[in-house]
Structure 1
């Protein structure tokens, strides 16, 4: 049996999109251990093909050479192969220091000596699932769809702890790490919440708590308790459990969008500055709203996708012009 170490990406959405690659590797007999940062590790624990998850104590930024060397010494001799999924120099350093014989990844910043098998970065932006799956060396990647599996007891425990019932609420994930040009306006989320015939559970990080309160406050002022703001109050495993048991999920293009897709829940995904051609929610029950692809929307959004953090033109029409009623209609068809 081949013992394989996976160096995971640092973002939740990217982690979800690596699942088809891991499924391919496990199917051909590789025993998979994933090395991941703590905030991504729970995603890999929701992948049955992963035998073990090692949480790396690394912070954002910096090479942190001593810490990587220390962990590499502990891992030395345990693995035959490593797949380095991020494109950075520091991510390739640990497998090199651990003397793992085969080290596979894309050409990145100064990694020629660190990797033994290097793929050229594609000239055009591939869908991210295909980008990661190509590292397997196999073909026929078009049908790959990420899948996550939550333990039923874990889901029920999260519901019980938070006083929720399966299928009795809708999840809103209004954040987006990259910036406001990916976030549907808070006032639109509030309007949508008021129209729904279910409790609304708002999920996100602690940094998004104020945004979620901005959405919840005007709705709760009219319908007390309609919105439950749990941003920063749940662990990631709890958030995954709440999405898995939700009636549906509405989000921007974000990590939790990809979680909802991989869990197969009905969802509406709202795109602004980014493109669903590159990072779509791969879910038959997903409905994508992207004005760039709407021929009836006038004048056309020639500026989209700009992939900017903030709208370079100052109007953010790509999001402002998607009304709550349109999202509600899409939700009913998901």
Structure 2
């Protein structure tokens, strides 16, 4: 069986999609799975052993560009795919499998997709979690509810390149002999997912005082945030804190996050990466909710403020105060950390 996956566009969603690939390989061990994905997701897919080939999506996120989609779909006909799974909910994401003349095209009902998908699932809301919605597509429609649950799903597990990991540690002069903790203080979604920088600085100072090294992870857009955190630290603590935001490739970040015994993270793509490489995770939620996209790991503590207006899922706080983040104090987060690490040691 030759399978084409139309992958999601966000790093966290792409990590979670590995659970679908695991399920497909479990049901069809000889299946050859290719994934069509944006260029920035290719490094993540390269760390998934279930994937045969990654095809780079030539159209930018949100762009329609039907001519390019037609040309790509036509070029894929030579691969003779038997089945396509379309993970995004947009109509444009369903076009390429149609143009590729893939006979079976499975996906959830989305915007105007009647006729584009041959196996249209009517209501994704029958599953609470996004990962359940992905995995359910591997099952017959009349068996989904009985065969898919969060508890039965294999968690994502990204391969780690130990040689590259060692090279990266040397490059940034991070000691492999001292414990490392990661802080992922950014979030592409917006300010309602970003726990305050001063709180992250408090956490970093406390962890360094206990003998840990601290790595600040993120992309180029997170550099200002991580620089502010660094500037709030004492000179002595700065020597044990490494500002890696914008300094690593995504795949280097994967290998470095795998060195961390614990990662403190906003609800972001790097949170899901940390889960998939086996780190303990303190997952910090503001406007969003762990009841939809939790980190898929057994070694997790979810922390959030207990206020009535969350989760609102807004990019900007409608009430301006951002209390879903400001009311969650470092002392509360450290309590969760102590509880998680004492359990993992036992």
TM-score calculated relative to the size of structure 2: 0.89
| 8 Å contact kept, 1:77–1:100 | no
- Does residue 27 of structure 2 align to residue 28 of structure 1? yes
- The residue matched to 2:111 in structure 1 has which SS? coil
Q: Is 1:319 equivalent to 2:330 in the alignment?
A: no
Which of the two has greater helix per residue? 2
1:249 and 2:260 matched: no
Which one of 164, 170, 174 corresponds to residue 174 of structure 2? 164
> Which residue does 2:344 correspond to in 1?
none
| CA–CA distance in structure 1, aligned partners of residues 150 and 318 of structure 2 | 33
Aligned to 1:68: 69
In the TM superposition, what is the alpha-carbon distance from 1:222 to its structure 2 partner?
5.0
Distance in 2, matches of 1:65 and 1:236, equals 30
Per-residue CA distance 1:90-145 (angstroms, 9 max, x = gap): 11111111111111111111211211111113346621111111111151332212
1:149 maps onto 2:159 in alignment:
yes
Q: Specify the SS of the correspondent of 1:160.
A: helix
Q: What's the TM-score, normalizing by structure 1?
A: 0.92
Contact conserved, 1:220 with 1:227, CA < 8 A, in 2? no
Asked if structure 2 preserves the Cα contact closer than 8 Å seen for 1:219 and 1:226, the reply is no
Structure 1: how far apart are the matches of 2:132 and 2:164? 31
SS of the residue corresponding to residue 77 of structure 1 reads helix
Q: CA deviation at 1:220?
A: 4.9
Flag the 1:161–1:57 CA change in 2: closer, same or farther, 3 A. Answer: farther
Q: 203, 214, 235: which one pairs with 2:217?
A: 203
Closer, same or farther: CA 273–53 of 1 in aligned 2, 3 Å: same
Unaligned runs of 5+ residues in structure 2 are: 341-346
Tell me how far 1:69 sits from its aligned partner: 2.0
| 1:330 to 1:96, Cα distance in 2 relative to 1, 3 A | same
- Checking the alignment, whether the CA contact within 8 Å between 1:181 and 1:308 is kept in structure 2 is yes
Counterpart CA distance in 2 for 1:151 and 1:88 is: 35
2:124 pairs with one of 119, 122, 125: 122
2: distance between equivalents of 1:161 and 1:54?
31
Aligned to 2:335: 329
Task: Tell me how far 1:261 sits from its aligned partner.
Answer: 1.2
Partner of 1:112: 114
**What is the CA–CA distance in structure 2 between the aligned matches of 1:95 and 1:160, rounded to whole Å?**
44
Q: Offset of 1:158 from its aligned partner? A: 2.7
Tell me by how many angstroms 1:165 deviates: 3.6
Gaps of at least 5 residues in structure 1 are 293-300
Aligned to 2:56: 55
